[in-house]
Amino acid sequence: MRLKKPLAVLGAVAVPVLFAAPAHADTVNFTLDELNGSGAHATAQLTTNPNGSITVDINGSGFTPNAPHAQHLHGAPNGDFFCPTPSADKNGDGQVATEEGVAQYGSVMVSLTTKGDASADSGLAVDRFPVADANGNLDYHRTIPASDIPEGIVENLEDLHIVQHGLDVNGNGKYDMEALGESVFAKSLGVKGIPEEATNPATCGEVTPTGSVETGTGSTEGPENLGRFAFSGAALLGSAGAFGLRRRLATSGATR
């Protein structure tokens, strides 16, 4: 046991101090790769704090500029989930849509919002998600309070995946209906008129393999203020459909 030597050296006086030390902070790194040809990449660092909160840092590039990007911790403690493969594209439109990807990356555990609630209930609170800058860079830093984090997550961060949503498929600098039509996911929650581009996943990240290095590329095209959505998160917060969907998808994922 490694402690033996320091204890012997420090002597009995130091022992109570050692045992009184707070729980250690664990840091887990994630590498987020592009999904759906978004061109976006990111790295993330999740640090668990002694009080049960998680400090999240995300640095990414290549995102749709000036547009909000919903982002979540997906999966389940000890869950058998992973970042989606092309096979997740069930309708063959060349895109793994949110509702198609959830079966593989799991349902929302934590919503990485910029303020307020960060539970799964805020999964579509787009007015509280980070907005990429004019160059498509997206940086995020927040400590998520323990009260918004489900049981078992802090101890099992390596089982989770980070997914960031929103991409500009037809390269016109904004989320619109022309590329992919309406969001099937949002519509399933009773919200119409949301572009599929706004909800499709742009990146997915798993725990960074030890020793690997990730580099990102920046996008500088089409700065335009498109941070507005036709709906507010509040409209979705109370949606029973959101809960039903989560439960349904979680069940289908668990039976795989």
| CB nearer Cu ion, residue 146 or residue 246 | 246
Tell me the C-alpha to C-alpha distance, in Å, between residue 16 and each of 3, 11, 12, 24, 56. Answer: 13, 10, 8, 16, 32
| CB nearer Cu ion, residue 138 or residue 163 | 163
> Taking contact as CB under 5 A, which single stretch among the options 13-21, 31-39, 72-80, 243-251 is the one that binds Cu ion?
72-80
Among 44, 66, 69, 72, binds Cu ion (CB under 5 A): 72
| CB nearer Cu ion, residue 102 or residue 169 | 102
Q: CB count, 10 Å around CB of 96?
A: 24
Q: CB count, 10 Å around CB of 10?
A: 12
Q: How many residues bind Cu ion (CB under 5 A)?
A: 2
Question: In angstroms, rounded to a whole number, what is the distance separating the alpha carbons of residues 65 and 69?
Answer: 10
Write down the least CB distance from residue 167 to Cu ion, Å: 13
Write down the least CB distance from residue 100 to Cu ion, Å: 12
Asked if 163 is part of the footprint of Cu ion (rule: CB under 5 A), the reply reads: yes
> Taking contact as CB under 5 A, which single stretch among the options 130-138, 141-149, 162-170, 173-181 is the one that binds Cu ion?
162-170
Per-residue burial over 101-122, b = 16 or more CB atoms within 10 Å of its CB, e = otherwise: bbbbbbbbbbbbbbeebbbbbb
> Secondary structure of 119-169 in the HEC alphabet?
EHHHCCCHHHCCECCCCCCEEEEEEECHHHCCCCCHHHHHHCEEEEECCCC
Asked if 189 is part of the footprint of Cu ion (rule: CB under 5 A), the reply reads: no
Write down the least CB distance from residue 105 to Cu ion, Å: 8
Asked if 69 is part of the footprint of Cu ion (rule: CB under 5 A), the reply reads: no
Question: Which residues make up the interface to Cu ion (CB under 5 A)?
Answer: 72, 163
